[in-house]
Structure 1
């Protein structure tokens, strides 16, 4: 018989996956399994490496059987030889099976080549790694798994027909004793007829699908000791004919790094989207027998990627406010269920749909009847499938001639927080084609205003941290609007934002309290700080706490009259200076005052006056008594309350400014003995 290597090569190329038969680690060089089928016992064995397989091909095996008693103990003396040697069939016996059994062709070509080649010594195990030998060994065992005839012809299988189904049998097999000087391992297996098979068929565990494939998963670790290969079949739901998906027995071969992969995996690439399929599998055992088919599994190829996209968008103007958008769409799998046309006035975002219902999948044009005349428009076509997946086209752009700038921004305000953040805000312009805003700043309103940020500000609020240690008290800001055609508005009116002030103002100090009958005139020096906003006055009676009584809220008011006093009251006053940043400074010294009853013992002064030529000043004149220590002058308001007070020493005149209308003054003198004169009142009209 001549079995050419060409036929073997043809088989190897047509096999879906190249892999050796799965084996189990063992200290033995031989392994045997058995299965009862009716009144017969099917036996299969295999050497566990290529060296022993090659020697087994040449010298054969010895198979024996004995029975087990009720306790499961083997009758060692009862082992029966089935033949002196189980050996590879001769060429003549092999030849009749070749035309109808391709696995006989494979096994025969491999085995007879191995017998004729130089034998490999068993004491040289490194030869096991020979790639060619390993491939021959793997496919010889695979062929025996796929065909009972190939197993028997290869001396790797035997059918025991002389059995009693009421007995429990133990089989053992070992390499032929004619192997001189080599140890001969023995393998055992037990068959019990009243014990059913562990696995009647494999079952599909689950599946995973995407746009174009359905992948089946079933247990690999569980089934690998029972099934050598598998068949996979598919049928459309509601169909009547199963289609076999594998041309050759299917074996899953994980990569070396996944040798313990938990699942066998098969991917069906010939599927249609949206079609329901039913799958089933069966297993091929090492005895060359196919199991029943598994329970069926329903699966569908679903879309997880985007549907086809609209292309070649073009715009044709119909009128000044009307245009037609057209596009192309290639949807060979009929995925698209509808489309949406969206418009924006920015090419990057802000796209809004122009209609509420989906356009049909075969629509290729859309008319926009309300195209704004003042700004450019951008269009996109969104395609949707029935699972909600969508895709968006590139932008189609329509351009108008627009030279009208946006209006000047209004409502600009700013705040400089203590943390150093300057926050600006302004009103949103009414133009629909606004693209953003530019912000400018300067250290003085008369200086050049520089651009603060290179990018357009897309909001009406802007925040930026500034150095607080600048020399200027304020930073000045302007804002400018920009539309989508890059027309710019006039700059807004500037605002000034005050730098955070953490330095308290200079303190104010009291003048002596001036008593007027039962009232006290309280006055103080004006703070030398330029940012003073006002003064707070506190008062306390003897043995009591200070109480707030007045906030001037004006840096120019530096006095007040306390009318809530009684004779012999002893009070203290305190002044707190605060600036426009609400920093406060306490006066260095409080002032104490006791209201005494005054007895006017001295006659009043005789006072005359002259007005300046411009009528803005008045000169008060008098003759000071010889015992006068000082002259007190008070400028009164219309109600007679003291507005300002002055003390004059060693002079007989005083010059003051005049206010519009009637100006009232009162004068008295105090002697060195603290005696006081009566008041002299003078009225001067401006």
Structure 2
């Protein structure tokens, strides 16, 4: 059966939202979670006087399809009654048969009055996912370009987020009215059948029927008149836990309000800003309007209204002033004159003069606001270079700026000598130069010069002034010259040139790679391989890298397992090994010129078969806060123990080896503690044949 939107009453605004959703598959559940997470079920609940409402969603189209076809199961576990925990929790399957979307024929009445129901029904039951209105294929070309399953998932999730009744029809919502105020519950939601490859098909919610749901008041709500429209903005992301969409209301008297939007106002994608905006057309210029918003959550609950804001629109200036003349009186004084179109003058409230050292700004104000009849300004503090703009202010609170105009007194003083010239040459002959910027306001740029000898004439590398303070050159490394020399000169807008910078000498890099390092010996310590090598004999080393691959498995590429800039280091312990496996190791050194040595001869090592021993039993911890210590004790009767390894971590950290203890002791006193900290200890035994015991750990609140 095909379901066409033309049989339903769908607003133009909603159609526009749905067009956007075609390009945003999976957006629907962003109202439940804006972060990207692994595929899973997401469960929310709402408590009222009559019971508990449950709403769930999925973060993946495959899970969504499985829920449509196989349904969901809701279980209620009674955890507490009259304040007394129930040790053997009472479990009741609330759904009977798995919850699925209701049959298509039962949607008909709801579809006729609910746009979101039409969207959800089309996504779930439509033979082909088509979106039409009034017989025109307005969206067909867009829809058919995307994956149909992505579209169904995105449309369905968006629709059920906007209406709890639609969510129930779509098999993604449930009302439990048989709850008791003296009990507490755990609701477990799971897929009736998990799709292949997924293992996160369940989720839970803890519910106290006495804690009724409450919604906060929207905040940071503001209204602006901008670009011939009213722009309303408010905080969105911070209230995402509470609201899935909003309604905007407008009033002409600040008392009686009417809704402005026809479709829910919501974000259709994650953005860098936490707020949301809505643009409303201006009914009438010069009139004052009041606005407020209301949030709606996943359970059709409407929150309290926001604070009311007001805004008024005036016609904006369409043109700006034009500077027509700049007269230089002296090296410090100039007069600026401008004009403004007569047909726009009725909107003016005044002018302002702005100045900057650069054409692109930033500009600063030079005067108090000038009368709208003023058309000239005298400035008495000219710099070597000046840019001026005139700003016209309108009755609507807007403004228009003139184009910037430069005013420059006579200048015959050259820029200062450039400083801070540094550079590098890489192994391909590419040169990177950097220097400090000059501070002259009328600086035009720099000239870069190069020579093979400081006694020879320098050659210009730039045909025109270079604007930045970074420059890239290339030199021939196949030469008998050992050095190359550079200088920088600065020039201003009047073509005055500075003295050359101090000469920079750069050494040409060598093209000879380092000698190869060589493995010297190795030792197997249980599941650890200890490697020892003789480093490269070349000078100027910068790095050593160990590579590894597994032999006889078809693995062709080597994997980097260790890298160090300590070129004197000559040993490494590989603890990330598997039993009964043949590994090959090689070692490479890198020189200052960036060249790598040839790999060392490969070293092959076969790890022994690993014998897993039982874990250490009876691991205990005793806290003594007076002595500021934790005493750990254990029992282990397996023969052949070489040592015990004790690991430790804090709640925020990860386990690291804390102590290695002899096999004959059975307790340890830890005094390296911080009060009010939760510690975890882990322990395993290392046997003389290289085997290890299973891991055992314990948590301690100190």
> TM-score, normalising length from structure 1?
0.41
> TM-score, normalising length from structure 2?
0.41
